[in-house]
Amino acid sequence: MIVARDDTLVIRNPDDVVRVRQEVRARAVAAGFGLVDQTKIVTAASELARNTLDYGGGGKARIEVVQNGARKGLRLTFEDQGPGIPDVELALKDGYTTGGGLGLGLSGARRLSNEFQIHSVVGEGTRVTIARWK
């Protein structure tokens, strides 16, 4: 797999979440994603960026444009050094929230992506990687 472009954005405040959305949108357009695919990956990015900010206390978003043979895609990695998630399986359940949300961010982002990985260690932080192919 070839990485054609690789950008990292800092997530420290709500404006940064907006910036992540805009950057992911721009990369998705450039990669030739259709409107529905753009909307799905930007929405997933918005959910994960907000989690990074709200629960992880801020962190980073890495946006990679990847190419696997003829397939183009986007790979997004959200990483924080926050408290971590004690029970990842539970956190991935629809409706589970510790922050008074709808509990749809993680599970929804997984549904909106073709690939989804989460790695979280209590006391160390959380890393979520998603990919969506054109």
Partner 1 sequence: MDRIPILKLGRALLVTVQVDMHDRLAMALEEDLSAKIVTTGARGVLIDISGLEIVDSFMGRMLDTIAAVSRLLDADTVVVGMRPAVAITLVELGLSLNGVKTALDVDRGMALITGDYGHASEGSEDLEDSDDRGEG
Residues binding ligand ATP (CB under 6 A):
47, 51-52, 55-56, 80, 82-85, 91, 96-99, 101-107, 126
Helix (H, G, I), strand (E, B) or coil at 32: coil
Which listed range, 3-11, 39-47, 79-87, 123-131, lies at the site for partner 1 (CB under 8 A)? 39-47
**Which residue in 47, 64, 79, 80 binds partner 1 (CB under 8 A)?**
47
Distance in angstroms (rounded) separating the CA atoms of residues 126 and 29: 28
Q: Which of 94, 86, 96 is CA-nearest to residue 110?
A: 94
Q: Please, are residues 24 and 59 in contact by the beta-carbon 8 Å criterion?
A: no
Site for partner 1 in 53-82 (CB under 8 A): none
From Mg ion, partner 1, ligand ATP, none, which one binds at residue 14 (CB under 5 to 8 Å depending on kind)? partner 1
**DSSP-assigned beta bridge partners for residue 70:** none
**Which residue in 51, 52, 113, 126 binds Mg ion (CB under 5 A)?**
51
- DSSP line for 53-108: HHTTSSEEEEEEEEEETTEEEEEEEEEE-S---S-HHHHTSTT--SSSS-S-HHHH
Point out which residues bind partner 1 (CB under 8 A): 14-15, 18, 21-22, 25, 35-36, 38-40, 42-43, 46-47, 50, 94, 101-102, 104-105, 107-108, 111-112
Point out which residues bind Mg ion (CB under 5 A): 51, 105
